[in-house]
Structures are given as C-alpha cells and as structure tokens.
Amino acid sequence: MKSGDHAAIDVPESSAVAKGKAPLIATPREQKSGFKKGLGIFDFLLRLGAIIAALAAAATMGTSDETLPFFTQFFQFEASYDDLPTFMFFVIAMALIGGYLVLSLPFSIVTIVRPHAVAPRLLLFILDIVALTLTTAAGAAAAAIVYLAHNGNPNTNWLAICQQFGDFCQEVSGAVVASFVTVVVLMSLVLLSGVALKMH
C-alpha cells in the first residue's frame, strides 16, 4: 500500500435509517389529540358525578314528607314537597336534568373516541348551558323557600316551620345543596367544552 492511498471504511446504516423510519416523537397534532381525549374522559367522569347529584336532589326532595305526631279533630299537621309549587318545579327540573345527563353520555363517549369531532362537542356545549340555566333557576328558587322555612319573615308574618318540621327541612336543605353541586359540575362541563372547542 502506498503512502498516498487512503483507506475507506464502510459503516453500515442503521435499520431505522435504511428503512426510512422516522424517530418516535409525537407530532403536535398527536399531542393535541391526546389532550382532547383526556378532556373527553374527564368530561365523561364529570357527567357521571352530575347525574348522581341531580338524581339525588330530585329523589330527596320528592320523598320529603313529615307528619307531626299530634293533630286536632279538624287538622293534621303535615309538610310535604307538593305543598309548594316551587318544590314541585324543583323536582321536575332536577329529574329532567338527570335524564338529559344520562342521554348525553353517548355523545361524551364520541368525544373520547373521536377527539377531533366538533359537532358532538358543540351540541353538548349548547345543551349544557341550557341545563345549567335550568338547574340554577330551580336551585335558587328552592333555596329561597328553604331560607324562609328556616328563618321566616316577620314583615310578612311568615313563620319559620323548621322548629316543628325538622326532618322535612333537613331533607329539602340537602336537596338544595345537591342541586348546587350539580350547578358547579355543569359549570365545569361548559368550561371544559369551551376549552376543547377553542383547540379545534
């Protein structure tokens, strides 16, 4: 071998380069898809919680009833939710909200399976706002009656009845609390849908 000659060394290409494979790095679209899928799963779990809270509120209010152990010849002292139209509206509204949330579960599953689908997310966003409005109205109206039941109003001669009907007041108060839990969850669902729609 002469001094002017150069030795050539062949380095075999790696199998990944030889086959034209790209490195295993997630693209921005794949990262966004994974994030949206996570939002969809969280949306589904929140809906399950809202269903429990809404149906618990409706069931608690719908079964609230108390009869005092004493009565007169002409009167029997009883308190029931159907004595007040506001409480009846509350039961109907919370039952409707619970039914809507159950029916919304398949659409929430679609947002998990197809995270880039806009139509089901937009539909849930609009209907969740309607459900939030109805739940807030029912909860606020019932809360006003519960406040009067606990404290009364001396200016209008409305007497507080919770000293006599303690169990009834506990049940209706628990129903109102459950309704406001539903309000908080629905607010979270609306915000979640808004974030997901903004990412499209």
115-135 per-position pLDDT tens digit:
888 899 999 999 999 999 999
What per-residue confidence (pLDDT) applies to 15? 47
Q: What mean pLDDT, rounded, does the chain reach? A: 83
Q: What backbone phi and psi angles, to 5 degrees, belong to 150? A: -80, -40
Q: What is the DSSP letter of 19?
A: T
pLDDT value at 17 more than 60: no
Which residues partner with 78 through β-bridges? 67
Q: Assign 5 a pLDDT band (cuts: 50, 70, 90).
A: low
| All structural domains of the chain | 38-64+79-199 (1.20.120)
25: exposed, middle or buried (Cβ count in 10 Å: 0-12, 13-18, 19+) = exposed
Phi then psi for 65, rounded to 5 degrees? -165, 135
Query: What is the per-residue pLDDT across 65-100, written as a single tens digit (0 to 9) for each?
Result: 777 666 555 566 677 888 889 999 999 999 999 999
Helix and strand counts by DSSP (H, E) for the chain: 5, 2
Residue from 181, 185, 166, 168 nearest 61 by CA: 168
Structure tokens at 150: 């606990």
For the CA atoms of 67, 69, 72, 74, what is the dihedral angle to 10 degrees? 20
Tell me the whole-structure pTM to 2 decimals: 0.78
Residue indicated by tokens 């399950």:
48
**Helix (H, G, I), strand (E, B), or coil: what is residue 76?**
strand
- Contacting residues for 94 by C-beta, under 8 A, at least 6 apart: 54, 55, 57, 58, 61, 135, 138, 175, 179, 182
